[in-house]
Amino acid sequence: MSIQNSTTGEVLRSYSVDELKHQANLMRGYNLAALCAATSGHAGGTLSIMDIAAALYLRVADHDPRNPNWPGRDRIIWSTGHKAPSLYLGLAFAGFCPKEDVALLRKLYSPYQGHPHWLKLPGVEVSTGSLGQGLSIAVGIALAARLDKKNHKVFCIMGDGEQQEGQIWEAAMEAGHLKLDNLIGIVDRNRLQIDGWVKDVMNVEPLEEKYRSFGWDVVTINGHDMKQVVEALENAKAKAGAGKPTVILADTVKGKGVSFMEDIAGWHGKVPNLEELNKGLKELGLEGQIPVDQLFAHARQYQAEVERKLDAKMPKFHRNYWWNAADNMKVQMKPTRLGFGQSLAANGDDPRVVCLGLDISGSITISEFYAGKPERKSRWISLGIAEQSATSAAAGLAKEGKLPVFGTYATFAAARNLDQIRTSICYGNFNVLIAGAHGGVSVGPDGATHQALEDLFAMCGLPNMNVVVPCDIVETRKATDYLLLKHVGPKYIRFAREATPIVTDEKTPFVFGKANVIRLRQESANFIEAFETKLESKYRDEGEDLTIIACGPMVPEAMRAAWILKHDFGYETRILNLHTLKPLDTAAIVRAARDTSAILTAEEHQIGALAWPVASAITQSPELCGIPIITGAIGVKDRFGDSGAPWELIKEFEVSAEHIAAKGVELMGVKKSRSGEPVAEVHLISSK
Ligand SMILES: Cc1ncc(C[n+]2csc(CCOP(=O)(O)OP(=O)(O)O)c2C)c(N)n1
**pLDDT at site 679:** 66
Three-state DSSP string of 477-510? HHHHHHHHHCCCCCEEEECCCCEEECCCCCCCCC
Q: Rounded to the nearest whole angstrom, what is the distance from the C-alpha of residue 173 to the centroid of ligand 1?
A: 22
**CA-to-CA distance for 610 and 604, rounded, in angstroms?**
9
Q: Is the peptide bond before 68 cis (omega within 30 degrees of 0)?
A: no
Q: Rounded to the nearest whole angstrom, what is the distance from the C-alpha of residue 130 to the centroid of ligand 1?
A: 8
Q: Rounded to the nearest whole angstrom, what is the distance from the C-alpha of residue 46 to the centroid of ligand 1?
A: 12
Say if ligand 1 is within 6 A of residue 606 CB.
no
Say if ligand 1 is within 6 A of residue 194 CB.
yes
**CA-to-CA distance for 383 and 368, rounded, in angstroms?**
17
**Bridge partners (DSSP) listed for residue 439:** 452
Say if ligand 1 is within 6 A of residue 84 CB.
no
State the pTM of this model: 0.97
**CA-to-CA distance for 60 and 358, rounded, in angstroms?**
35
Number of CB atoms found within 10 A of residue 308's CB: 11
Give the residue, by CA position, lying nearest to ligand 1 atom 17: 159
Q: Mutation test of ligand 1: which of 359, 383, 388, 417 has the most ligand atoms closer than 8 Å to its C-beta?
A: 359
Parts of the chain with a pLDDT under 70: 1, 679-688
Say if ligand 1 is within 6 A of residue 663 CB.
no
536 contacts 544 by C-beta, under 8 angstroms? no
**CA-to-CA distance for 580 and 564, rounded, in angstroms?**
26
SS3 category, 158: strand
CA-based torsion, 56, 60, 61, 67: positive or negative: positive
**CA-to-CA distance for 24 and 53, rounded, in angstroms?**
8
**pLDDT at site 515:** 98
For 228, phi then psi, to 5°, come to: -65, -40
**pLDDT at site 684:** 41
**CA-to-CA distance for 55 and 463, rounded, in angstroms?**
51
**Bridge partners (DSSP) listed for residue 492:** 434, 467
Angle at 597 between CA 596 and CA 603, to 5 degrees: 85
Say if ligand 1 is within 6 A of residue 229 CB.
no
**pLDDT at site 683:** 44
Say if ligand 1 is within 6 A of residue 574 CB.
no
Q: Mutation test of ligand 1: which of 162, 188, 451 has the most ligand atoms closer than 8 Å to its C-beta?
A: 162
Q: Rounded to the nearest whole angstrom, what is the distance from the C-alpha of residue 162 to the centroid of ligand 1?
A: 6
Task: Annotate 313-324 with b (16+ C-beta within 10 A) or e (fewer).
Answer: ebbbbeeebebe
Angle at 197 between CA 23 and CA 233, to 5 degrees: 35
Selection from 633, 567, 623 nearest residue 592 by Cα:
623
Amino acid at 150: K
For 76, phi then psi, to 5°, come to: -120, 115
Q: Rounded to the nearest whole angstrom, what is the distance from the C-alpha of residue 294 to the centroid of ligand 1?
A: 32
682 contacts 568 by C-beta, under 8 angstroms? no
641 contacts 448 by C-beta, under 8 angstroms? yes
268 contacts 194 by C-beta, under 8 angstroms? yes
* Closest atom, ligand 1, to C-alpha of 81: 25
* Closest atom, ligand 1, to C-alpha of 360: 23
**CA-to-CA distance for 658 and 536, rounded, in angstroms?**
25
For 567, phi then psi, to 5°, come to: -85, -25
**pLDDT at site 241:** 79
DSSP class per residue in 226-286: HHHHHHHHHHHHHTTTSSS-EEEEEE--TTTT-TTTTT-GGGTT----HHHHHHHHHHTT-
SS3 category, 155: strand
Say if ligand 1 is within 6 A of residue 192 CB.
yes
Angle between helices 292-313 and 17-38 (to 10 degrees): 40
Q: Is the peptide bond before 646 cis (omega within 30 degrees of 0)?
A: no
Q: Rounded to the nearest whole angstrom, what is the distance from the C-alpha of residue 136 to the centroid of ligand 1?
A: 17
* Closest atom, ligand 1, to C-alpha of 188: 20
Tens digits of residue pLDDT in 36-53: 999 999 999 999 999 999
Say if ligand 1 is within 6 A of residue 161 CB.
yes
Task: Supply the DSSP symbol for 102.
Answer: G
Say if ligand 1 is within 6 A of residue 416 CB.
yes
Amino acid at 146: R
CA trace torsion 224, 227, 230, 234 (10° rounding)? -140
Q: How far is CA 306 from CA 140, 299, 644, in A?
A: 37, 10, 10
3-state helix, strand, coil in the chain (%, to 5): 45, 15, 40
**CA-to-CA distance for 609 and 601, rounded, in angstroms?**
10
Say if ligand 1 is within 6 A of residue 388 CB.
no
Task: Supply the DSSP symbol for 31.
Answer: H
SS3 category, 396: helix
Q: Are strands 630-636 and 598-606 parallel, antiparallel or unpaired?
A: parallel
Number of CB atoms found within 10 A of residue 384's CB: 23
What are the CB-based long-range contacts (under 8 Å, 24+) for 116-122? 116/78, 116/81, 116/84, 116/87, 116/88, 117/447, 117/448, 121/88, 121/91, 121/97, 122/68, 122/69, 122/96, 122/97
**pLDDT at site 1:** 66
Q: Mutation test of ligand 1: which of 46, 193, 199 has the most ligand atoms closer than 8 Å to its C-beta?
A: 193
131 contacts 165 by C-beta, under 8 angstroms? yes
**CA-to-CA distance for 497 and 649, rounded, in angstroms?**
13
394 contacts 353 by C-beta, under 8 angstroms? no
Tens digits of residue pLDDT in 229-244: 999 999 999 987 799 9
